[in-house]
Amino acid sequence: NHPDYDVDGGRDLDIFDINEGTQTRNSIIGDQYRWPKTIPYYMEDDLEINAKGVILKAFEQYRLKTCIDFKPWSGEENYISIFKGSGCFSSVGNRKVGKQRLSIGTNCDRIATIEHEFLHALGFWHEQSRADRDDYVEIMWDRISEGKEHNFNTYDDTTSSSLGVPYDYGSMMHYSKNAFRNGTEPTIVTKIPAFSDVIGQRMEFSDSDLLKLHRLYNCSSTFLDSCDFERENICGMIQGPGDKADWVRVSTAAGGPSTDYSNMGKCTGSGFFMHFNTGTANTGDTALLESRLVYPKRGYQCLQFFFYNSAGPSDTLKIYVREYDSANPNGALRLIKTIDGSPQELWQLHHVSLDAKKKFRVVFQGAKEGSGPSTGGMSLDDINLSETTCPEFVWRVSNFSDVMDKTPADTPIFSPPFTSKEGYTFQMGLYPSGKAGYPGELSAYAHLVAREGDTGQTWPCPWKQITMMLMDQHPHIQKRMSNQRSVTTDPNMTATDSNQFFWDDPRKVGVEVTDADGSKYFRGPGAGTPVYLTHLRAKSRDFIKGKDAIFLLTMEDVSHLTGVQPPPSVIPTPGTTVATAAPGVCLNVECLNNGVCVVDGGMPECRCDVGDDWWYYGDRCQNKGSIKDKTTLALASSLSVLAAMLIITLVTVVCLKKKYKKRATDDGITMRNAGATC
């Protein structure tokens, strides 16, 4: 058995480590250096295969959470060329130089690092370089390593814009407290002490990172759907036609969950989910809950939801898509998956892969199939529909805080073995209290597994990328800051203590182990990192929910990335870029109420702030509107119209009365009430 392999050499590389030197290469530039929303890229031959796979995963996060997309370079004049340099660095913004290089070097192949570098390329600088930096953090200049002081420069409002977004301690563009220190004391001290260990996160985009990106690039959402059922409109979902029962929005269900999954009963007055009561249903009854209409772009989707099954053992939940076209204007149902089995008293995470290519709805059909008694029903919460591929495997670790606190150091726990569609079996090894020498850390490693009698695999295992993600269980997938690391099985890699291939058959290079159920198999050496995530961060956000942690695991074939990305057949034509205005075009434009000046078509333009039920408008964002104002205006308009109609009616009556009175006088007739007496 060979020792585990640390993919980053056991170092917890920080953003400041990998970006060292960037400051001397680039300067903050203006909004006129934006890229198009679809950015051409070229992956150079020297990139590591694992890095190529993680780059593609980073692109998927941009697609999921922003309006930014990426496409292979096909001859555009300006494009990003990704290569393996001495570290990780990028120019800031679109420099209009044709081939703009971005380095993903050794030990840089983690998704947050790559997202960070592409944020630089999109035009963003480090958070602590903001003009208002000193209001929120104090730089301890005497603790900074000699010659590194320039990394803590700030830039005034003429060269760097915060886009009207408050200072963000949680930004993935922020240095950690220990950046470039010359001893053991922090170089950055937060004015609010609680944020001391928040700065420097390298998990995912923060909400403010995304807000700034959306403002700079004028993003509109391309996300399909998400619903936690907190609003009474249940996100536009409808009760389907032809059923005999209904899904009902509740905060607790007799015989079912006592709380929703979104809030777990923590928030008074909130915490709702959808429930189909099978206890009162008759055999054969169904309840249909349908999503709003969805218009796909990619031809594949992932449906994710939490399901609490307290129904009868033969009752089922079926997932359909209702697809619409000219031949089926009312939609045609297509069954995708049936979920059945014995009830379990917990919210379970489910993923369903869809392949809809035309307008559709997702349909949840609860069915009372059996005649046996049922005291509960079926419950749904935290539904997310995205144009992504679903993770293959789910490993749920119960009472995870206790596991972290009570597991001895250097002691691993292992996921069940999972078999990929290519026939290779693997498992995740997790050190809840860290490997030796790494207290307060989660350490994570991927292992290949083989059983006696396994056949059909090629050894050493060629080019399979294993991804281990600790899921942030926030209800909305776009707001999650999950933590993940990937390793790739290089068939040519040898063990550090011998000439044997590291990813060879575990029956040759591994050890025999006995599982809890008594089954035996062989586990190969692990590759991963001793600094997967700190305990402090693991106990933040929604990494642990209902006491449990959820790991999403995949093994994907990346052998296609070993080839050379073909260069475009079209030679770039000079002068195809859109002319931009001078860098100072926004300097004399004042946008009010947190509006942001950007350059559109060579002219300055104020982009105004928008809230859930309010917005600013006008050429300088000087006016404010709201749903309340519109409602008041609409009511006032209606009352004005009603008053005008009433006045017209009264005038008409008076005029007619005078007309007929005059006519009666002319004819010698006196008008009187027909029922009157003298």
Cα dihedral 168, 174, 176, 178 sign: negative
Please give the helix or strand (H or E) that residue 514 lies within, else none. Answer: strand 511-514
Beta strands in 228-291 (DSSP E): 238-239, 248-250, 273-277, 286-290
Is there a contact between 302 and 296 (Cβ–Cβ < 8 Å)? Answer: no
Choosing from 48, 76, 115, 117, which is the catalytic residue? 117
Within 13 Å and on the Cβ side, how many CA atoms surround 390? 18
Is there a contact between 239 and 274 (Cβ–Cβ < 8 Å)? Answer: no
Q: How many residues does the chain have?
A: 678
Is there a contact between 108 and 52 (Cβ–Cβ < 8 Å)? Answer: no
Binding site, annotated residues for Zn(2+)? 17, 116, 120, 126
Beta strands in 73-169 (DSSP E): 79-83, 88-90, 99-104, 137-139
Q: What are phi and psi of 478, to 5 degrees?
A: -70, -20
Alpha-carbon 396 to chain mean position: 20
Binding site, annotated residues? 17, 116, 120, 126
**How far, in Å, CA of 568 to CA of 560, rounded?**
18
**DSSP code of residue 128:** G
Alpha helix stretches (DSSP H) within 157-289:
207-217
Task: Give the pair of three-digit tokens for residue 318.
Answer: 């079926």
**How far, in Å, CA of 515 to CA of 518, rounded?**
5
Alpha-carbon 147 to chain mean position: 38
Instruction: For residue 49, give Cα distances in angstroms to 213, 340, 488, 555, 557.
Output: 29, 40, 7, 14, 11
User: 576-579 long-range contacts, Cβ below 8 Å, gap at least 24?
Assistant: 576/76, 576/77, 577/77, 577/78, 577/96
* 292: number of Cβ within 10 Å: 14
Question: Please, is 529 exposed, middle or buried when counting C-beta atoms within 10 Å of its C-beta (0-12, 13-18, 19+)?
Answer: buried
Give yes or no for a cis peptide into 460 (omega within 30° of 0): yes
Beta bridge partners of 599: 604
Please give the helix or strand (H or E) that residue 25 lies within, else none. Answer: helix 22-25
User: 256-260 long-range contacts, Cβ below 8 Å, gap at least 24?
Assistant: 256/308, 256/310, 256/376, 256/377, 256/379, 257/308, 257/310, 257/347, 257/379, 260/228, 260/229, 260/381
Q: Whose CA is closest to 392, among 556, 592, 559, 164?
A: 556
Instruction: For residue 54, give Cα distances in angstroms to 49, 107, 328, 460.
Output: 9, 12, 41, 22
Q: Is 232 noted as a catalytic residue in this protein?
A: no
Q: Whose CA is closest to 219, among 411, 466, 462, 478?
A: 478
Q: Which residues are identified as catalytic?
A: 117
